[in-house]
Structure 1
Amino acid sequence: MTNNAVEVAALIARLTELLTSSPLDAAPAAQPEPAQKTHERVLLTPEEAAARIGVGRTTMYRLIRTKEVESVQIGRLRRIAASEVDEYAARLVAGQSNQAAA
């Protein structure tokens, strides 16, 4: 065997010895990177609000026009609070529950 082959064989033998003598869990675990906090938007576009409750854009504009869902105007933009969308959905569910109980 050449000198390089002897060195490689010795390294492989040493690596095998290290792998079999110490359990793999003893190796320090890599610390996971902290997850980026995603900020949920407070004000939604009518399209986002519609998607959140599973209705179409036209239906959402009708709900805004009839004041079933409150919205605000920022310049030329119309926005709906995410909490308002959640409250509207809760009112719908409660209304359906009351009708079913009657």
Structure 2
Amino acid sequence: MDTNTLSEMGSSSIGNRLIERKLQRGVLSVARLKEELQVVQDQLDALSDETQDLEIRSLVAETPLSLHELRDAQRHVYAMQKQKEHLVNAITETLARQDELLDKLGR
């Protein structure tokens, strides 16, 4: 065998191992992000329900305090929605990187 061929095989094998490690880390990362997304979704559902209740109370009570509580709850819902969007984007980006790595591994 030619020494270049042996050298190429060695670097290819090392490259594949590195890609496999990155893929494993990506799988763990996606799993962690999905768990976090589920927690955020549960919190968002609870906050949304609470906000709906506060909206009804605000309409009935018509007090500055009830309006303040409603606005505060709406801000929390908005923040949780942003967190959810961030997690969904992170999952999408990680999965795209995983696809790229799989393409490299398949070559």
- What is the TM-score with the length of structure 2 in the denominator? 0.23
Select the structure that is richer in strand: 1
Select the structure that is richer in helix: 2
Q: Which has the higher relative contact order, 1 or 2, with Cα contacts under 8 A spaced 6 or more apart? A: 2
Larger Rg: 1
